[in-house]
Amino acid sequence: MLISQIVRDFVSLAIHSGGWMDMDRIYLENQVIGLIGEDGLEAAEIRSVEASAAELVQPLVEQGVKNQVIGELSADKDILESRLMDLMTPPPSVVNAYFAQYYANKPNEATDYFFQLSQANNYIKTQDIAKNIVFPAETEYGILEITINLSKPEKDPKQIAAEREVVQVNYPKCLLCMENEGYKGRLNYPARTNHRIIRMNLDGESWGLQYSPYAYYDEHCIVLSEEHRPMKITRETFARLLKITEVLPHYFVGSNADLPIVGGSILSHDHYQGGRHNFPMAIAQIEKEIELKLFPSVSAGIVKWPMSVIRLQGRQVKELTAAAEYIFETWKQYTDASVDVVAFSADGTPHHTVTPIARRKGDLFEMDLVLRDNNVSEEFPDGIFHPHQDVQHIKKENIGLIEVMGLAVLPPRLKEEMQEVEKYLLNRPNEMKEYHQKWADAIKDDYEITAENVEKILQQAIGKVFARVLEDAGVFKRDEAGMAAFARFTTGL
């Protein structure tokens, strides 16, 4: 059997990745052949001198299907791809050693190394992420960022049927557990053979740093607890977030809220999200200063933002942590029934928490506390401070950390649905969903629409809806009554 040039090129990239030496070439070629089967690839010699590992791995996976080493389900292909890409990835100990070596020079050089590795070995699904529709939208709060999320492939019916037959296994316990590192995967659980985690010591606790496979923004990372435990906002949360910005001063980091409706998608595992991205909320200015008499070294203010945000700044981490905890504990107990802000149900169920975000501004530490309330009512059964019914045709999912900061993650259905709305706006035959009708008619009334401007007009209209979504999630509304209520709360601080 002739060794395929694609196999040779793939192995060359694996050696270049830093986990192997040239002496390992024959060994690696045999590892690849063992994974894909011994029939050659000569019939599929489509290659480029500049081909990436992500490009080279596809014909290797397809050869595995042809050789009947794996089945044709997408999960089978993902498992094989991950195992091949594991050859492209140094072992965890080596990755951590490289990270430490780069970090000793500059923290950003360490994350640059790890980020580039996670892209090169296709743990970060760059080709899938590129499918997302991304555009800016001008609003009264500045330019918001809109993403229609198309990166996660939908499962085919055969795979869904096969997953029903799979024996349920409680390992790893969730997608954020450290036990995912190197895990082969199965039909109903993603392959993680090429996954690596940087170990971090945060004030005596073991945590890990990884990147998100389906990133929504620049260098979208996750900082996760080694212990599988529920998310909980406490004083330690604020201290850890600020500590992370000490360790990685070029990254922001934030936590989802810890209550249903206003929380994120994975509340079962304590974790934070961060990255190298300047979100619209971070750019928003203070519109009213707050005096915190108990914390004279901390400056504070209300941010001009559709949600209710208090920004803290200071040079002393302990003082900033204490101020954040003080506001958080005050908010947890705070009720103002005149604006539907109620801290506890009659049975004592708590409804108030915060979404905290930390970042560095020069030599200052900065923390935004976004006030959250997860009450429901007869009028708003999905949540009083959740996207209301009239905007759910665009966004009905929970408003988590990423949306809070001004980046909309919208569902894939909107790609086709917006194409039909465009046809409707141009008075062409269409199959527009009925739930878009009222909104589309309002757009028609407001604009002179042509084939040249319809896409831009629709994008800006989506941005305005997202701004309204954030206003719905704001506990103190931007009207006179809401701002007066916000002032009453901050005056009490």
3-state secondary structure the chain: CCCCHHHHHHHHHHHHHHHCCHHHHHHHHHHHHHHHCCCCCHHHCCCCCCCCHHHHHHHHHHHHHHCCCCCCCHHHHHHHHHHHHHCCCCCHHHHHHHHHHHHCCCHHHHHHHHHHHHHHCCCCCHHHHCCCEEEEEEECCEEEEEEECCCCCCCCHHHHHHHHCCCCCCCCCCCCCHHHCCCCCECCECCCCCCCCEEEEECCEEEEEEECCCCCCCCCEEEEECCCCCCCCCHHHHHHHHHHHHHCCCCEEECCECCCCCECCCCCCCEEEEECCCCHHHHCCEEEEECCCCCCCCEEEEECCCCCEEEEEECCHHHHHHHHHHHHHHHHCCCEHHHCECCECCCCCECEEEEEEEEEECCEEEEEEEEEECCCCCCCCCCCCCCCHHHCCCCCCCCCHHHHCCEEEECCHHHHHHHHHHHHHCCCCCCCCHHHHHHHHHHHHHCCCCCCCHHHHHHHHHHHHHHHHHHHHCCCCCCHHHHHHHHHHHHCC
pLDDT for the residue 156: 58
Name which of 30-44, 439-453, 464-478 the model is least confident about: 30-44
pLDDT for the residue 18: 87
pLDDT for the residue 256: 96
Q: Is pLDDT at 357 greater than 60 in this prediction?
A: yes
pLDDT for the residue 43: 46
The answer to whether 211 touches 115, Cβ cutoff 8 Å, is yes
How many CA within 13 A on the CB side of residue 220? 15
Q: Is pLDDT at 163 greater than 60 in this prediction?
A: no
Q: pTM for the complete prediction?
A: 0.93
Average pLDDT, the chain: 93
Calpha distance 181→214 (Å, rounded): 17
pLDDT for the residue 243: 97
The answer to whether 265 touches 212, Cβ cutoff 8 Å, is no
pLDDT for the residue 449: 97
What digits encode the pLDDT tens for the residues 66-83? 999 999 999 999 999 999
Q: Is pLDDT at 248 greater than 70 in this prediction?
A: yes
pLDDT for the residue 1: 45
Name which of 44-53, 119-128, 182-191, 384-393 the model is least confident about: 44-53
What digits encode the pLDDT tens for the residues 111-152? 999 999 999 999 999 999 999 999 999 999 999 999 999 987
pLDDT for the residue 154: 62
Pairing type for strands 142-148 and 299-303 reads unpaired
The answer to whether 354 touches 328, Cβ cutoff 8 Å, is yes
The answer to whether 122 touches 57, Cβ cutoff 8 Å, is yes
The answer to whether 423 touches 436, Cβ cutoff 8 Å, is no
What digits encode the pLDDT tens for the residues 90-111? 999 999 999 999 999 999 999 9
Q: Is pLDDT at 4 greater than 90 in this prediction?
A: no
Structure-token pair, residue 462: 């989506």
Q: Is pLDDT at 419 greater than 60 in this prediction?
A: yes
The answer to whether 320 touches 242, Cβ cutoff 8 Å, is yes
Calpha distance 285→66 (Å, rounded): 58
Closest to 405 measured CA to CA, from 352, 357, 365, 464: 357
The answer to whether 282 touches 298, Cβ cutoff 8 Å, is no
What digits encode the pLDDT tens for the residues 181-239? 999 999 889 999 999 999 999 989 999 999 999 999 999 999 999 999 999 999 999 99
The answer to whether 60 touches 45, Cβ cutoff 8 Å, is no
Closest to 401 measured CA to CA, from 347, 454, 443, 356: 356
Calpha distance 60→356 (Å, rounded): 44
Structure-token pair, residue 196: 């690596």
The answer to whether 312 touches 323, Cβ cutoff 8 Å, is yes
Torsions phi, psi for 252 (to 5 deg): -85, 165
